[in-house]
Amino acid sequence: MSSAFLDRLHSPDRPVMVFDGAMGTNLQVQNLTTDDFGGPEYEGCNEYLVFTNPRAVEIVHRGFLEAGADVIETDTFGGTAIVLAEYDLADRAYELNKTAAALARRIADEYSTPDHPRFVAGSMGPGTKLPTLGHIDFDTLKDSYVEQAKGLIDGGVDLMLVETCQDVLQIKAALNGIEEAFTVTGTRLPLMVSVTMEQQGTMLVGTEMAAALTILEPYPIDILGLNCATGPDLMKDHVKHLAEQSPFVISCIPNAGLPENVGGNAVYRLTPMELRMSLMHFIEDLGVQVIGGCCGTRPEHIAQLAELAKDLRPKERPVRGLSVGAHSGVPLPDPRPALNYTPAAASIYSPQPYDQDNSFLIVGERLNASGSKKCREMLNAEDWDGLVGLAKAQVKEGAHVLDVNVDYVGRDGEHDMHELVSRLVTNVTLPLMLDSTEWQKMEAGLKVAGGKCILNSTNYEDGDERFFKVLELAKKYGAGIVVGTIDEDGMARSAEKKFQIAQRAYRDALEYGLPAHEIFFDTLALPISTGIEEDRVNGRETIESIRLIRENLPGSHIMLGVSNVSFGLSPVARVTLNSVFLHEAIQVGLDGAIVSAAKILPLAKIDPDHQKICRDLIYDRREFDGDIVSYDPLIKLTTLFEGKSLKKKEAIAKDLPINEQLKQHIIDGERIGLDDALAKALEAHPPLEIINTFLLDGMKVVGELFGSGQMQLPFVLQSAQTMKAAVAYLEPYMEKSDSDGSGKGTFIIATVKGDVHDIGKNLVDIILSNNGYKVVNLGIKQPVDAIMQAYREHHADCIAMSGLLVKSTAFMKDNLETFNQEGITVPVILGGAALTPKFVHEDCQNTYSGRVVYGKDAFSDLHFMDKLMPAKAAENWDDLQGFLDEAEPIQKAESPPLPVGEQTDASQVETVQNSKFKIQNPADTTRSDAVDP
């Protein structure tokens, strides 16, 4: 694709490109009459002015070009037939778009010079209907964009701009429509997408920026950014995320602030200079290269931006190359993901990384009509609410992705997939894996799934045709794929054959333009439980094939449906074998598994002797005495569980000491009998002692098991929920030392942006509030602005930030930088599974002007506050400094904390550097009394 616009955008001097301002605002100030619009029935249809009063549109274009804009947008924001139909103008859509494009083209060419070329962007707005909410179907919406795009292309635009996007499914429809128009016209132009993030921080349908980027990353976009809804101040966090993760050029086109209602009119207060100063920061510090103005911006605003762009260059950041990828017909030279982008699937709400922190990608298997009787019965009854309930139950169990399979004889699978997926996308926060042997059913789901799905699956059983058809769907709708190791000869059994098929698919997918990180290889877990001689090696060969793929096909992922390995065994034997097989597969490189949490066990709960038998079966370690089998692990496993069932027995022995009983309740995630054990413990121990010793000891063991891979995430979550229930039971028995806590001090605590884990944080809340502190618990997924607002509102003495995920540690560090910028130096406690003392003591402390404390557990927070507040009141820091000096060498000698599920999500203590505390003016309430000199 040769493009003068892209040549300019990517020229060595990397100029800042300035788009124009608001078309609507600048038409409105002309005080147009009904006659200008062609009659009362067309009043308000700004797009129709290109027919009835093109001079009005020309005035707007010229005003912005005079101001120095590099790019003007066509007057076609509402130019699809769907929107124009509201004015009975649907049949003029193509003509209107071509006319508007030609008008802008003519005027831009008048102002264009070799030193200052001017360009035209074909504006394509969101329309008035949200496909995710069922207002319009995908194909109808896509077809309207095809017609609009053809008109804009034929009218001479330089690039296509899909703007003010409020629904990710609408963006997909637009991009597919544009792609079809490119094919029909034989012309390919640069693509720019601009999403609109509302004041609450998401798109209108609830999509956060991380999800929007994940969903759009597979598409051949050149520029991705934001416009409309807010001024630049509320766009900062979104732009920062793009700066860190996006492989595209970044654009930022804000309103002139938030509108005020003055006499029934929207008034925008942001001045041209204020807009300039805000965008200057985005350019210099975040690498934004495309700027402009949306609602409320006039030529005066654009003049300031044009002046700014003359000498300013954006901060260097890597951008995806123009010729890389199959969109240009060239194979990817590097199979790894671009830049810092995190490969992920996504719901319409949030992303789910393919590579999980200390876990495997858990794909819930219960929404499968082929494998689940309950699902099949609900599907036959068309109990859609019941199926949504099954999905929600898997969310609570800890699934990361939901497998959706509606294949059932006698039913219309395309209809069923449409009906079910359209309900799941708005009711469930997890991404979907669309599972079918028929690509038509997959596409039926893709047309209603605005998120980024995984397609399960494709293979070479019918040669190349079906394999490439699924690749086509993956590219068209921006999805990952599962590739089964099956070819024209059938299902591969040996590790070598499985790898050969994977290698073939890897090469074909990359040449087609699908990057390696979007490929999941399913090496097929065949039964090892039949007793048939040729099946004996199935486990070993599958494990070996995983190792071969991991070592030789970089960037790709590996997925298994685990339960087939134990086909035919008794339920209790199946659970045991499945669990050990899963562990063995993860050890050699498995990334994900389609599994139900009810059908696996933590390795720690499986008898070591039973584990050995399972491994012997997996690796076919039979023993022979001549030709006679003297030891057969299959027979051993079968007889071992003969007569045993999966029904839950009473897990916790009553004759154990009460502290051991409670510890075991936490480790096992067992809530049956928990209340009785807690009641017995209260007879001899105060509630805080029960929490601090018995319960937290159990969570420490959970953390060790999770960190060593012997306990999977669903079981960690069960333990965390049991901990939560235990604390809730004990809370009424805790006596608060102060009625509202205001006398001892105020403590802000929040789980950082993007993280939903809060059990440890809530434990801190309970411990501190029951010891006389006022605790302001902000909840989960808290942006830094919310934390700072709470700090100022409550005049907090300490801020605690928590998070379970590795990415949360980066948000914590970013938040500390923001605190510095805002002059906040109050002590900050950082806690959570992914943190290490070293990271807190070095990286975070070096970032922050105040004191950063490592949170080990909830009681450590209490100890810190009990030292901080008296020191602050007396302006005597000796005791506090002594506490910190004593704690730090202990922490540095400790191993990093193990990643407990939700063990210490939140906060806790010990410290940082051996700096002295500085005594400040007692009247200074905005700064900590405990900061480095």
The string of DSSP letters for 510-546 reads HHHT--GGGEEEE-----S-S--GGGTTHHHHHHHHH
762 and 837, same domain (yes or no): yes
Predicted confidence at residue 898, as pLDDT, reads 33
Binding residues, as ranges, are 228, 294-295, 754-758, 802, 858
**What's the Cα-to-Cα distance from 459 to each of 97, 435, 549, 550, rounded to whole Å?**
43, 13, 16, 19
C-alpha triplet 905, 909, 910: angle, nearest 5°: 140
Tell me: do 180 and 244 sit in the same domain. Answer: yes
* Binding-site residue set for methylcob(III)alamin: 754-758, 802, 858
Q: 573 and 466 in one domain?
A: yes
What is the Cβ-side half-sphere exposure of residue 724, based on CA atoms within 13 angstroms? Answer: 17
- Whether residue 105 sits in one domain with residue 17: yes
Whether 832 is covered by a domain: the verdict is: yes
pLDDT at position 759 is 62
The predicted structure's pLDDT at residue 637: 93
| Helix and strand counts by DSSP (H, E) for the chain | 34, 29
The CATH number of the domain holding residue 619 is: 3.20.20.20
240 domain residue, yes or no: yes
Return d(Cα 36, Cα 44) in angstroms, integer.
10
For residue 726, give the CATH number of its domain.
Answer: 1.10.1240.10
Same domain membership, residue 688 and residue 621: no
Domain harbouring 168, CATH code: 3.20.20.330
- Domain CATH for 775: 3.40.50.280
Closest-CA residue to 19 (of 9, 10, 7):
9
pLDDT value of residue 354: 96
pTM beyond 0.85: no
Task: Tell me the DSSP string of 128-159.
Answer: S--GGGTSS-HHHHHHHHHHHHHHHHHHT-SE
The answer to whether residues 747 and 716 belong to one domain is no
Residue 731 is predicted with a pLDDT of: 85
Number of Cα atoms under 13 Å in the Cβ half of residue 917: 26
Question: Is 262 inside a domain boundary?
Answer: yes
Residue labelled with tokens 């100890």: 863
Q: Which of 704, 730, 756 is the last residue of a domain?
A: 730
Tokens describing residue 544: 């070996």
What pLDDT is stored for residue 918 in this prediction?
A: 34
Q: What is the pLDDT of residue 888?
A: 56
CA dihedral over 325, 326, 329, 335, signed as positive or negative? positive
Residue 912 lies in a domain: no
- List all residues 6 or more positions away from 25 whose beta carbon is below 8 Å from its beta carbon: 268, 295, 296, 297, 298
Pair (453, 576) in one structural domain: yes
Count of all residues that appear for the chain in the document: 933
Q: Which residues of the chain have pLDDT under 50?
A: 322-337, 649-650, 738-741, 889-933
Residue 387: inside a domain, yes or no? yes
| Cα angle 568, 571, 577; round to 5 | 75
Which residues is 291 bridged to in the sheet?
18, 252
- Residue 341 corresponds to which amino acid? Y
Asked, for residue 641, whether it belongs to a domain, the answer is no
Instruction: Enumerate the known binding-site residues for Zn(2+).
Output: 228, 294-295
In whole angstroms, what is the distance from residue 222 CA to residue 250 CA? 9
pLDDT in tens, 756-791: 666 677 778 877 876 778 899 998 889 899 999 999
* 932 occurs within a structural domain: no
If asked whether residues 825 and 860 sit together in one domain, one would say yes
Identify whether the C-beta of residue 497 lies closer than 8 Å to the C-beta of residue 310: no
Residues 107, 195, single domain; the answer is yes
- Tell me the residue range of the domain where 581 lies: 344-625
Supply the pLDDT for residue 737. 52
Q: Is residue 645, in this structure, part of any structural domain at all? A: no
**Helix 674-682 vs helix 713-730: crossing angle, to nearest 10:** 40
Residues 281 and 430 in one domain: no
Please count the structural domains in the chain: 4
Contact in structure between 631 and 665 (CB atoms under 8 Å): no
| Rounded-to-integer distance, Cα 33 and Cα 676, Å | 78
Nearest to 758 by CA among 909, 903, 910: 903
pLDDT at 736: 59
Residues 6+ apart with CB under 8 A from 2: none
| 767 shares its domain with 726 | no
Q: List Cβ neighbours of 165 (8 Å cut-off, separation of 6 or more).
A: 126, 171, 174, 193, 194, 195, 196, 203
> Are residue 386 and residue 463 in the same domain, yes or no?
yes
